[in-house]
Structure 1
Amino acid sequence: MHVRVYSSIDEIEPRAWDEILGRDATICSHAYLKAVEGSAINDCLFRYPVVYDDAGRVLAHTCMFSISMDMALFAQGAVRALVGAVRRVFPRFLTLRMLECGTPVALGRQITLRDDADAEQVLAQLVAAAETIAEAAGLNYLLFRDYRNEERGRFDALTAHGYSVLPNLPDAVLEVRWRSFDTYLADMRSSYRRKVRLNLSRIADRGIRSELLTDFRHLADVFAAQWRYIYDHASEYKREILTPAFYRNINTHLPGSRVLVFYQQDRLIGHCLLLVEDDVLRWMYVGKDGEEAEDVYPFMLYEIVRHAIEAGLRWVKLGITTYVAKTDLGAEMVPLYMYMKHRTRLFPKLSPWLFRRMTPLPPQFAKSVFRRETGRLPTAVSP
């Protein structure tokens, strides 16, 4: 067994890379990584470790990238105020450059393992590759993300290499079990259904409508500008900055890409970037055109659910943040975990502690949204 690190996804034959992919693995696919690599996201530098067996078969692969990370990204209250005060004197206080195993524009586990691969041996190879990449780039922080509870049995082997387990922000996931949007609403308890209908009535009064696009490359510049408006006004999350090339590349390389666009009369006021694979709809990004589109967000969520139902999909992955709105739709919060390490002797324990302090988790509780409850979300949301 040995590992080889490639500096571009184009150095790897797509069929060899995709051969070991499972279902719902778009963010691990050759096409997706090619789209992201060519999009000039932030200051990212990508590397692709591939583990081979002695016969030359691919046993595992992943994407690793370096990025500048704000450790106070999710800080709140007094901590946020304190960081802000220090940054008036030291602008880059708690802004660190780190090596992550994943992609800068997707939530979910990035490591792909062949079914018959020895996970511990493979992870040892990937850890060694990460250390080599980090050392060459002068990076001390290393991060493997994002793993669900049921995956930790395999990936807790990272702790033997000095990594600490950290909770990440949870993913909001809705299980689709309705034949139409009307039956979805009818299944809601009256208080939640009343809120949806009130919002839909307001949207109708303003003449706002949605349209689903499968070819949207011609709107890439508009979408990037709308995303930038979200970025500039965000209070919960600000990291990656999308480019027009990102939207063009996603549409060019991924046949499952979709965009829900929102119009007020003839003016395009917002969009939602979606990926569809197998029976899963993944909401990637949202963009808006100024303050007039601020209260369209609930309608965007409704239309995402409507599209998933009409497409016969089973799962909607709604991502992190804005949990109140997403759980009001019936989504459940699925815990995610990361593995972090600092390469120096001084900070191995301090860094995870600092990250926990700077990243308060939202309260997780079950809402009784539907009259016909089916129990907690299954662990097998998707492999």
Structure 2
Amino acid sequence: MTEQDTRLTLTTAGSMAEIDPAAWDTLAGPGNPFLAHAFLDALEQSGSVSEQTGWLPRHLILSTATGRLVGAVPLYLKAHSWGEYVFDHSWARAYEQAGGAYYPKLQAAVPFTPVPGPRLLAGDGPDAPAIRRALADGLVAVAETLEVSGVHATFVADHDMPPLAMAGFMERHDVQFHWHNRGYGSFNDFLAGLAARKRKTIRKERQKVADSGLRFRALSGADITAEAWDAFHRFYHATVDRKWGEAYLTRDFFDRLGQMMAERVVLIMAYDGDRPVAGALNLIGDDALYGRNWGAVVDLPFLHFETCYYQAIDVAIERGLARVEAGAQGGHKLLRGYEPVTTRSAHWIADPRLARAVKGFLDQERAAVDAETEALADHLPFRRDDPA
């Protein structure tokens, strides 16, 4: 940086529309589609993210004296803990029972998206480590200015953890299940590496769906029509309704996603004749396929596995992608070749009494999660003679 550039200013932005898209995307990098300016802006412009839904944008911006953007954090003022996938409801209850106000809080995250990635956006230049440290300190400064209970950075990239820890954040672990492509040329190549019983189970599951007569298409780019989005939005609502959840993503969000990022979308659709009956939304990164939402209007055994997991593996092999990240939770993924991976979040708590209690909880939880992850790895379905 020049001497003038070293004079940095920390501010917050009330929307992605206030931030230059090219400057933001340079900091975020191309690898993770959920950090793209277009994705975050689509959430806001569609009303999926707003004060009304409990996600008020307060993006952290680090700029030089000349106005050049050198660092950023996707940041939201939260009135609840929904849509985060890292659960702190028990912390909120305990603090409120003790007379504290847990909400509002700050959330450094991509809303409704349990995908690991950078949260301290600093690009890849030589100043990136120093910028990440300034952003971590900036999160605490903003929290103190707003007088919130704390800051929670979820699904954090590994290189973000040291500066967050130096700023006083506590580390939390969880586990996800990711499929890894070991140079497979086909789905059968993948199956060949599994134990015979597991291989047989997956073949039976896929055959059961095939026998139903459903056909599948992986739509991307211009192939994703408004009719396809209409159908997928119905599936999304059907699944949310069954799970007693809340459908945050509006129909307009899917239109905006299709307009701005269609080439990075893979919409896997299942058809009964010409009628779409199920679908799974995936986004493409530099080296991964990210599974996000799914839904169906028919009840068919193994349709979920086929649409979300097996079809995703087919796409990843075809496109030469290194892995499939299938979202949060789901131990059933293990027996289908998805391997346990540790995910991390970081938490700064303003009240030292609550911070001490949370630290004690996290120390015990990390040990339990790490032990569980190690134990799960011993139950992978791969052949014992497989060098993988």
TM-score range for the pair, normalised by the shorter chain length: 0.7 to 0.9
Deviation for aligned residue 1:147: 2.8
Which residue is 2:189 aligned to?
183
Separation (CA, whole Å) in 1 of partners of 2:229 and 2:352: 46
Which residue is 1:140 aligned to?
149
Matched, 1:194 2:204: no
Amino acid at match of 1:322: G
Separation (CA, whole Å) in 2 of partners of 1:356 and 1:172: 25
Matched, 1:161 2:161: no
Matched, 1:52 2:63: yes
CA gap of 1:243–1:156, structure 2 versus 1, over 3 A, is same
Separation (CA, whole Å) in 2 of partners of 1:26 and 1:32: 7
Of 4, 19, 22, the residue aligned with 2:11 is 4
Q: TM (normalized to structure 2)?
A: 0.79
Amino acid at match of 2:269: V
Deviation for aligned residue 1:271: 0.9
* Structure 2: runs of 5 or more not aligned: 1-7
Separation (CA, whole Å) in 1 of partners of 2:316 and 2:58: 34
Deviation for aligned residue 1:135: 4.6
Q: How does 1:312-351 map to 2 (within 5 A)?
A: 312-324=320-332, 326-351=333-358
Which residue is 1:229 aligned to?
238
Separation (CA, whole Å) in 1 of partners of 2:63 and 2:177: 32
Deviation for aligned residue 1:100: 0.9
Separation (CA, whole Å) in 2 of partners of 1:19 and 1:164: 28
Is this contact kept in 2: 1:229–1:287, CA < 8 A?
A: yes
Separation (CA, whole Å) in 2 of partners of 1:145 and 1:73: 8
Deviation for aligned residue 1:20: 3.1
CA gap of 1:177–1:118, structure 2 versus 1, over 3 A, is closer
CA gap of 1:271–1:134, structure 2 versus 1, over 3 A, is farther
Separation (CA, whole Å) in 2 of partners of 1:352 and 1:8: 33
In structure 2, the residue corresponding to 1:147 is in which secondary structure?
coil
User: Once structures 1 and 2 are overlaid, which stretch shifts more, 360-369 or 206-215?
Assistant: 360-369
Q: What is the root-mean-square deviation of aligned Cα atoms in Å?
A: 3.5
In structure 2, the residue corresponding to 1:108 is in which secondary structure?
coil
Separation (CA, whole Å) in 1 of partners of 2:12 and 2:84: 31
More contact order relative to length (CA 8 Å, sep ≥ 6): 1
Matched, 1:117 2:117: no
Deviation for aligned residue 1:54: 4.9
Give the structure with the higher percent helix: 2
In structure 2, the residue corresponding to 1:349 is in which secondary structure?
helix
Deviation for aligned residue 1:370: 3.4
User: Once structures 1 and 2 are overlaid, which stretch shifts more, 13-22 or 295-304?
Assistant: 13-22
Q: Deviations over 1:240-274 (max 9, x none)?
A: 73221222222121121121011234442211101
CA gap of 1:361–1:155, structure 2 versus 1, over 3 A, is closer
Separation (CA, whole Å) in 1 of partners of 2:225 and 2:144: 37
Q: How does 1:60-71 map to 2 (within 5 A)?
A: 60-67=71-78, 68-69=80-81
User: Once structures 1 and 2 are overlaid, which stretch shifts more, 358-367 or 111-120?
Assistant: 358-367
Is this contact kept in 1: 2:140–2:348, CA < 8 A?
A: no
Separation (CA, whole Å) in 2 of partners of 1:73 and 1:104: 10
* Structure 1: runs of 5 or more not aligned: 376-383
Separation (CA, whole Å) in 2 of partners of 1:336 and 1:74: 10
Is this contact kept in 1: 2:74–2:110, CA < 8 A?
A: yes
Of 85, 106, 123, the residue aligned with 1:99 is 106
Percentage of identical aligned residues: 18
Deviation for aligned residue 1:289: 1.9
Q: Deviations over 1:55-84 (max 9, x none)?
A: 654322121013321599788xxx99xx99
Of 28, 31, 35, the residue aligned with 1:28 is 35
Separation (CA, whole Å) in 2 of partners of 1:180 and 1:344: 54
Is this contact kept in 2: 1:146–1:337, CA < 8 A?
A: yes
Matched, 1:269 2:269: no
Which residue is 2:3 aligned to?
none
Is this contact kept in 2: 1:61–1:112, CA < 8 A?
A: yes
Is this contact kept in 2: 1:99–1:134, CA < 8 A?
A: no
Separation (CA, whole Å) in 1 of partners of 2:144 and 2:314: 44
Deviation for aligned residue 1:234: 3.6
Deviation for aligned residue 1:344: 2.5
In structure 2, the residue corresponding to 1:155 is in which secondary structure?
helix
